[in-house]
Amino acid sequence: KKEDDSKKLPVLSVPRRTDQPVTGIQSKKNFINTNAVAVIKGLPKKPRPICVDTRHGDKYLLENSGLVPKYTKKKDYGVTPKYVTQRNEEMKRAQEEYEASVLEHLKKNAMKRLSDEERKSLLEGLKKNWDEVYRKYQRLPVQTYTISKKMNKEKLELQMKQLEHDIGVTEKHEVIYIANE
């Protein structure tokens, strides 16, 4: 019996065909006066901006034409979006973390500063090595026919070039740091 009761449709409040509508209910509110008072006390409508483009008086609304920028009238105009500020904060945080890790790494592998005496002795040693390589280069024959002589000449040229570069770097920089490995 319980199953039969649950299958019944709920009673709808739709009036039947034979029911008559309720009539004779009257309100004592004066709608004409209340509307007149609302119009008198209300603010006047602002005229809608229009544009007349021909001599015959053809008009069109400026709002929909695209001639008036609507976006400047928005509440959030000129405000940086939240996702941009969040992304900037995340980038700053990541940069700070990176700098902190670099500082830690540098503290672990503290770099040693080269003193002026060591720098001068290094420079003198480089110049001395360059002189030795240059003497060997000058002793080579002008024409090299064999492959071994050509290879030896190229090797000496590369050594001289590297030594010149190293000498230039040490002369250019007053302070030199050496990494502890």
Q: What is the pLDDT of residue 7?
A: 62
User: Same structural domain for residues 174 and 158?
Assistant: yes
In a domain, 17, yes or no: no
Count of structural domains within the chain? 2
Q: What is the pLDDT of residue 8?
A: 64
Look at residues 69, 90, 110 and tell me which one is the last residue of a structural domain. 110
Domain containing 130 equals 112-178
On whether the CB atoms of residues 48 and 61 are closer than 8 A, the answer is: yes
User: Same structural domain for residues 119 and 169?
Assistant: yes
Compute φ and ψ for 50, nearest 5 degrees: -130, 165
Q: How far apart are CA 31 and CA 86, in angstroms?
A: 55
In a domain, 2, yes or no: no
Q: Enter the DSSP assignment of 139.
A: T
User: Same structural domain for residues 123 and 97?
Assistant: no
User: Same structural domain for residues 51 and 106?
Assistant: yes
Q: What is the pLDDT of residue 3?
A: 57
Compute φ and ψ for 131, nearest 5 degrees: -60, -40
On whether the CB atoms of residues 113 and 177 are closer than 8 A, the answer is: yes
pLDDT along the chain (181 residues), means of 10: 60 81 85 94 89 86 80 83 96 94 78 84 95 93 86 94 94 80 60
In a domain, 34, yes or no: no
Q: How far apart are CA 143 and CA 125, in angstroms?
A: 31
- pTM passes above 0.75: no
Q: What is the pLDDT of residue 133?
A: 95
Look at residues 93, 110, 127 and tell me which one is the last residue of a structural domain. 110
Q: Is 126 exposed, middle or buried, given 0-12, 13-18 or 19+ CB atoms closer than 10 A?
A: buried
Q: How far apart are CA 138 and CA 125, in angstroms?
A: 20
In a domain, 130, yes or no: yes
